[in-house]
Structure 1
């Protein structure tokens, strides 16, 4: 039987953590927010929360909401149907409280009697929640991907000098043309919670060889694409604190301090980023994850068909450096040579770029 609540934040905050992920893409277990079946909550197959708002399609005035809103018809086990707008939230750790609040706001704004009007009144809060969740998840996923690479490179390093070169080559959150610079090789790390190598690129320089900071020589550029999946404690996996601990234990004192300084600045100003002693037990960071895939793309390969600076220089009114776009890289570009697949092969390829000088 589908449970129904009293529309209160407190009831939802207790109920949502027990809601299980859907068994398949076509199945949903609904938790109705109130006895009138005005609003329902579910999880998709990845455990991401969804809001179901029964009735005709709802009109959205704000882009973050419009991008996450769709309308479908669903079938119940007893043969009944449900026409509903669905809001899908990005995967963000411990988002149960936010969705509980939004449901309570919908009810407070009169969803039981006029859902479109209640939705319109609540939409600014929904938009804010979606934007902040996307940003928080993006930063967290990005940090996890870069730490995975640092962990791997410091693990295969021949000694302290090579480990120092890895840490000094990591930009952290400091504005830089590259996430990593190993010798004359640049590395961009792109991490996603999706199932394919689709990534947001913030400027042509991220996919073109030769854009090292300070005008230094860059002879090669790799894009490391990592697919990450959040898990629960029963499934196991690694965590951001466990990676930080493992990396720190391999470093000498000065290198460890430099590493932690970069961590503190990641995702915000100094003092608001990840601080290991303070944050290693915080649930947001301690959530375990595994990787779906690891692919290292050689961006100098002409078979990767992306815009190049030379293609756009004829557009005299275009600010080329302002461009941002999404890439959808294939699983295979050049046989088994590009991309390099799997951590062992990737680390073997990149280790040769580490310059301990």
Structure 2
């Protein structure tokens, strides 16, 4: 295809109507290749026939093979599907991928796999612009696990539910993941079976002096999440469960605000997760199960063996820009980590309401 053909195809894709209901708007480019739009406006690239296989883990997460209907009442067809976001510039990306697949010989008698393998690097680059990487996905699941627990203890109390949403600050760049008065929690997720976590700097483990003059009481919540084919939850599932809790007693605008904050989480690493349009994406269909019970550590415990600036001052190592990995034992001291992270967080938040702990 020439550049003129590319421009024409891009214009066609931009002009494809966003369908109502489940009726897709399709543009067939060859027997094995089509592009459609979903009801949320996303662009879908279909590679018809037997399942194609990706070598890139990222592309593999985005590939879905199944039977698809071009429109209501239309005959289903078997195809592998890749979904790209609805933003207008992704019409250009979809057009580029389609043209490169045609150039690579997707219509050849030996099937689409060789052409797909040739074009996979371009597909991977496009996906990196449209979806969150896996480490960000599990980080978000970890923080939403805490948010859901906060909401579970506040059902039928709209004011308290909104306050719980305000406790969550990890959707913003910088700062702590959760803040409760003088208390703060850094949530760290790992795909390991032990509490091994990466830190981007000493600040993540350094209590600060708060505007009130009080010293921050800092906690670290260690969560292990591993991909599973049978148990656990997907990111869309945990978001749906939070929507369900908020819908019980909170105003609709609180649900909207929660979804807005979820969509901003990790957006510097990709396009962010928009639940309304992305809940059906294959990239977010992986279930994650806990590899160990979550552990809530107190940072100010003298038994915590932490790197600090005073120690570094005796070396030639500069603290600025320092990144490191920390392996935490399952038991640091008698009450660290807390016997129950849920009970401990509830006790902290009860203290904020003036209710005696214990």
* TM bucket, shorter chain: 0.5 to 0.7
**Deviations, residues 6-47 of structure 1 (Å, cap 9, x unaligned):** xxxx8998364xxxxxxxxxxxxxxxxxxxxxxxxxxxxxxx
Question: Judging changes above 3 Å, is the alpha-carbon distance between structure 1 residues 90 and 194 closer, same or farther for their aligned structure 2 residues?
Answer: farther
C-alpha separation in 1, matches of 2:189 and 2:332: 19
Query: For residues 59 and 297 of structure 2, what CA distance do their matches in structure 1 show?
Result: 26
Shift, 1:203, TM fit: 1.4
Please report how far the alpha carbon of residue 244 of structure 1 lies from its aligned counterpart in structure 2 after TM superposition. Answer: 1.4
Contact 2:209–2:216 (CA under 8 A) maintained in structure 1: no
**Distance in 2 between the 1:330 and 1:161 partners?**
38
Partners of 1:161 and 1:262 lie apart in 2 by: 18
- Aligned position for 2:281: 282
Partner of 1:152: 149
- Deviations 1:28-71 (CA, angstroms, capped at 9, x unpaired): xxxxxxxxxxxxxxxxxxxxx9x8xxxxxxxxxxxxxxxxxxxx
Distance, in Å, in 1 between the alignment partners of 2:180 and 2:311 is: 28
Q: Distance in 1 between matches of 2:50 and 2:296?
A: 41
Q: What displacement does 1:186 show? A: 0.7
Are 1:353 and 2:342 counterparts?
no
Deviations 1:274-316 (A, max 9, x none): 2221122222223222211211111111111111122234568
User: Which residue of structure 2 aligns with residue 175 of structure 1?
Assistant: 173
Q: What are the residue-to-residue correspondences of 1:244-263 with 2, within 5 Å?
A: 244-251=239-246, 252-253=250-251, 254-263=253-262
Contact 1:191–1:226 (8 Å) recurs in 2: yes
Within 2, Cα distance between the matches of 1:279 and 1:220? 37
Q: TM-score, normalised by structure 1?
A: 0.59
Kept in 1: contact 2:208–2:216 (CA 8 A): yes
Question: Aligned residue for 1:296?
Answer: 296
**C-alpha spacing 1:148/1:305, structure 2 compared with 1 (3 Å):** same
Larger deviation: 184-193 or 201-210? Answer: 201-210
Q: 1:93 aligns to what SS in structure 2?
A: helix
Matched, 1:242 2:258: no
Distance (Å, rounded) in 1 between the aligned partners of 2:63 and 2:197: 23
Q: Deviations over 1:83-138 (max 9, x none)?
A: xxxxx9699734799xxxxxxxxxx9xxxxxxxxxxxxxxx99x989x99x97011
Structure 1 gaps of 5+ residues are 1-9, 17-48, 52-87, 98-107, 109-123
Shift, 1:227, TM fit: 0.8
Q: 1:317 to 1:215 in 2, by over 3 A?
A: farther
Question: Do the aligned residues in 2 keep the contact of 1:172 with 1:263 (CA within 8 Å)?
Answer: no
After TM superposition, list the pairs within 5 Å mapping 1:130-279 onto structure 2: 136-157=133-154, 159-210=157-208, 217-232=214-229, 235-251=230-246, 252-253=250-251, 254-268=253-267, 272-279=271-278
Provide closer, same or farther for how the CA distance between residues 191 and 12 of structure 1 changes in structure 2, counting only shifts above 3 A: farther
DSSP 3-state at the match of 1:243: helix
SS at match of 1:249: helix
Structure 1 contact 185–218 (Cα < 8 Å) conserved: no
Residue 329 (structure 2) aligns with: 330
CA-CA distance at 1:155 after TM superposition: 0.6
Asked if structure 2 preserves the Cα contact closer than 8 Å seen for 1:199 and 1:326, the reply is yes
1:136-191 Cα shifts (integer Å, max 9, x gaps): 01111111111111111111236333322221121233122211101211101111
1:82-121 alignment, distance < 5 Å: 93-94=61-62
* Structure 2 segments unaligned to the other structure (5+ residues): 1-46, 65-79, 81-103, 105-120
1:321/1:170 CA distance change after superposition, 3 Å:
farther
User: Which whole-Å CA distance do the structure 2 matches of 1:242 and 1:180 have between them?
Assistant: 22
Distance 1:95 1:222, change over 3 A: farther
Report the secondary structure of 1:340's partner residue.
Answer: coil
